[in-house]
Structure 1
Amino acid sequence: MPAGPRGPLPALDGLRGLAIGGVLACHLLNAWPGAGAWERRAVAALGLGWTGVDLFFVLSGFLITGGLVDTLGQRGWWRGFLVRRALRIFPLYYLALAVFAVAGPALGLVDQWTFGRWGWWYWGYLGNWAYAARQVIPALSHFWSLAVEEQFYLAWPLVVLLARGRALAAVSAALVCAGPALRWLIVDSGLPVGSAYRLTPGRVDALAMGALVAVVARAPGGAGLLRRAWWPAAAVGAAGFAALGLPHGFDMHARPLEIWSHLWLALAFGGLVAGAVATEGTAHPLRRALSAAPLRALGRYSYGLYVVHYLVHVGALGALRARPWGTALLASRAGYAAYAVTALAASLLIAWASFHLVEQRFLALKDRLAPRRAAA
């Protein structure tokens, strides 16, 4: 296959911004005190931000598959990929875990005995399987999606190596279709409710959908196919998700949603990713919307925001609820709004500092430790 689009695509940063924005809204507003009907509807709508994780998975499938396909044949291909991924994700992840190991017990977020017994799940990038084992550390519960990503990084290069061209497209399409069946097996396995949402086999359709878009983008005539198909795919996926979710209040752990919703979301977000690629370099409204500066800024710092925001949220809520004035603050709409804005600002500041002081220093080592060479 010919190489795909070269250079950064601003619209993809915008999609990252959409994804992390949804996750932030879902988490930071999950204790909103208002009881009015319109407030409940608004908070419930923002609560759909949990779907941002599905968008992250589709983006990962697209970008990782595209990078692997474009460099296939280089000397040290697999090793180089793993080194570059490690330099991107390990430094902040393990720094956050190390800080939590010290500060978590001091702040009352976890006792040392529990972290000593269960912390190995997180040190080993197995936080999603900790949920199935009923050994979750609540403040680190959001690390489950990072574990899914890491397990995908380890396994997917072998798939790309063995299945190339049309075979890779066929494997990706088959995995998209297999997603609901795999989640059905997990739901009926006796594991805790929500395991299908977090375990890696239950998320293959989103990752594989991104991979499928990456393969199509590199196929002869693929660009034209993406231009024609992206908006019907996005519309059908969104409509299917809405029809499925409305009767169940969009509860991610309701059985029908746990089994089927991620397939519809994969289709919808696969369409959006395809649209971002297909409209690059045009004046299309989708490209202009996704290239907006605020969205791109959120997307740039999305990894750091994801890692730190829930730690900030859980720690701040715990500290406030331990004090009478803090409880009173969180019980009022104005007080909670002030809290949410402050928690968001703190998360943004930490993510900004992490990107410039930690992440970029390791990113600068990529070309030294794992240079990309001409294909053999």
Structure 2
Amino acid sequence: MAESAVGGIGAGGSPTLKSIQVLRAVAAIGVLTLHAATEKVTHMGGAPGPFKNFLLGAAGVDLFFVISGFVMVYSSESLFGRRDGPQRFFLRRLARIAPLYWAVTVVIILYIYAVHGRVLWDIYTPGSLIASFLFWPYPRVDGFAFPVHLLGWTLNYEMFFYAVFALAILLPRRIAVPAVCLAFLAIVAIGRATVLPLPFLFWANLIILEFCYGMLIALAYREGLRLPPAAAWALGIAAVAGYASMYSPPEAWGEWRVLFWGLPSAALVAACALSDSTWHPGPAGRFFGLLGDASYSLYLVHPLTFPLVRWTIGRWFDFSGAPWLYAAIAWASAVAASIVCYRMFERPITRALQRWLRERQRPPAPSRSAPG
């Protein structure tokens, strides 16, 4: 999702960024695996098995948010304290997030129309459809502030974070990061002290503090803090233990997932980002790096691949006797589709837009006076 699922960390990046790429892949695979297991139960029946409360599934969102906070600070080093920093930052993020999300949203609307013969006005309103494209939390007919693409709720948080962060970029890094953290703490405190209307109720969720975890880790990184390998490994093991200790689904904790899954996610990001060791990825690491690149596509596109598997392979093979085979094929199909989407749509569109923005934001060359 976000620089989590939405950032761009090139394959030639530093070891720190390569390790963050792997975490993005882990987060996206977790969400995919949870949804593949849910898809299996919904359409093939049977028990969810070991994936009933697949931890890195739902917790992948929390990991995404922490990674996003880290990467925004890390990658914006040249923008802090600049007058044009907010505009440059926000336009870059919009160019990174919007095209694929808008395209997938249009596909979902067309899918709904093709299956039901109409737009489901008993669920959506014209306002909620428009708000889905604007990353704006807006209630549907049932009162829930979900966009057309249900996973887009996370991008609504991402865009809110980007807007606040863009304003803070006017300040030096050492001031900007604490300023955003204090602003988010104030927003959360107001939200817990009074009943806010939408969209403020949505934005005041404790989960926004997970962006602060990542920002503070990046601030520590930029200030030169490094962990010896043994300490990084210990922190990573503690993070995994933290995930493993939380067997209840996130609904059982409500907003307190910011502690139960947010803190292990922060520990995992800190272990990877602050480690003083050099990482040399093998074939598996390079594959996870590719999935990290494609994690935004994987996050947004994988729900579309599930019905395609049912409609195509399901015509020739009865999955009712092998529901886990269906889940495995759906999982693999989503991974393959995301890589194709990344290489054929997301990457070229993003590069073209970023190139256009660089040309547009480049200062004009000084004019030369004609010789007198």
Q: Would you call these one fold, judging by a TM-score over 0.5? A: yes
Structure 1: state its 5+ residue gaps.
Answer: 1-5
The partner residue of 1:338 within 329, 334, 345 is 329
With over 3 angstroms needed to count, the CA separation of the structure-2 counterparts of 1:319 and 1:12, relative to structure 1, is: same
How many angstroms apart in 2 are the aligned matches of 1:290 and 1:330? 35
172-181 or 332-341: which moved more?
172-181
How many angstroms apart in 1 are the aligned matches of 2:138 and 2:276? 35
How many angstroms apart in 1 are the aligned matches of 2:360 and 2:262? 34
1:119 and 2:129 correspond: yes
In structure 1, the partner of 2:211 is: 207
Report the alpha carbon displacement of residue 52 of structure 1 after superposing the two structures with TM: 0.8
Q: Is the 8 A contact 1:65 1:160 kept in 2?
A: no
Counterpart residue identity of residue 260, structure 1: W
Counterpart residue identity of residue 126, structure 1: W
Q: Is the 8 A contact 2:66 2:213 kept in 1?
A: yes
In structure 2, the partner of 1:303 is: 296
How many angstroms apart in 1 are the aligned matches of 2:117 and 2:302? 15
In structure 2, the partner of 1:10 is: 18
The partner residue of 1:21 within 14, 20, 29 is 29
Counterpart residue identity of residue 251, structure 1: P
1:365 and 2:367 correspond: no
Report the alpha carbon displacement of residue 170 of structure 1 after superposing the two structures with TM: 4.6
How many angstroms apart in 1 are the aligned matches of 2:239 and 2:183? 17
Structure 2: state its 5+ residue gaps.
Answer: 1-11, 365-372
Counterpart residue identity of residue 121, structure 1: A
The partner residue of 2:155 within 142, 146, 153 is 146
Counterpart residue identity of residue 301, structure 1: A
How many angstroms apart in 2 are the aligned matches of 1:29 and 1:56? 20
Counterpart of 2:81 in 1: which secondary structure?
coil
CA root-mean-square deviation: 4.2
Counterpart residue identity of residue 364, structure 1: R
With over 3 angstroms needed to count, the CA separation of the structure-2 counterparts of 1:175 and 1:55, relative to structure 1, is: farther
How many angstroms apart in 1 are the aligned matches of 2:37 and 2:220? 38
Report the alpha carbon displacement of residue 75 of structure 1 after superposing the two structures with TM: 4.7
TM-score (norm 1): 0.74
Report the alpha carbon displacement of residue 143 of structure 1 after superposing the two structures with TM: 0.5
How many angstroms apart in 1 are the aligned matches of 2:87 and 2:302? 31
The partner residue of 2:58 within 44, 50, 53 is 50
Report the alpha carbon displacement of residue 118 of structure 1 after superposing the two structures with TM: 2.4
With over 3 angstroms needed to count, the CA separation of the structure-2 counterparts of 1:115 and 1:176, relative to structure 1, is: closer
In structure 2, the partner of 1:3 is: none
Report the alpha carbon displacement of residue 26 of structure 1 after superposing the two structures with TM: 1.1
Equivalence map 1:110-189=2 (5 Å): 111=119, 113=121, 114=124, 116-127=126-137, 133-134=143-144, 136=146, 140-162=149-171, 164-165=173-174, 167-168=175-176, 170-171=178-179, 185=192
In structure 2, the partner of 1:252 is: 250
Counterpart residue identity of residue 97, structure 1: T
Equivalence map 1:227-376=2 (5 Å): 230-231=232-233, 233-243=235-245, 245-246=246-247, 250-254=248-252, 257-279=253-275, 282-283=278-279, 288=281, 292-313=285-306, 315-316=307-308, 329-330=319-320, 332-333=322-323, 334-370=325-361
How many angstroms apart in 1 are the aligned matches of 2:269 and 2:359? 31
1:134-193 deviation digits (Å, cap 9, x = unpaired): 2536x611011011101110112333545752x55655666788898688x39x96999x
With over 3 angstroms needed to count, the CA separation of the structure-2 counterparts of 1:200 and 1:52, relative to structure 1, is: farther
73-82 or 112-121: which moved more?
112-121
Report the alpha carbon displacement of residue 94 of structure 1 after superposing the two structures with TM: 1.8
Q: Is the 8 A contact 1:172 1:209 kept in 2?
A: no
How many angstroms apart in 2 are the aligned matches of 1:162 and 1:23? 35
Report the alpha carbon displacement of residue 331 of structure 1 after superposing the two structures with TM: 6.0
Q: Is the 8 A contact 2:140 2:146 kept in 1?
A: yes
How many angstroms apart in 2 are the aligned matches of 1:282 and 1:131? 52
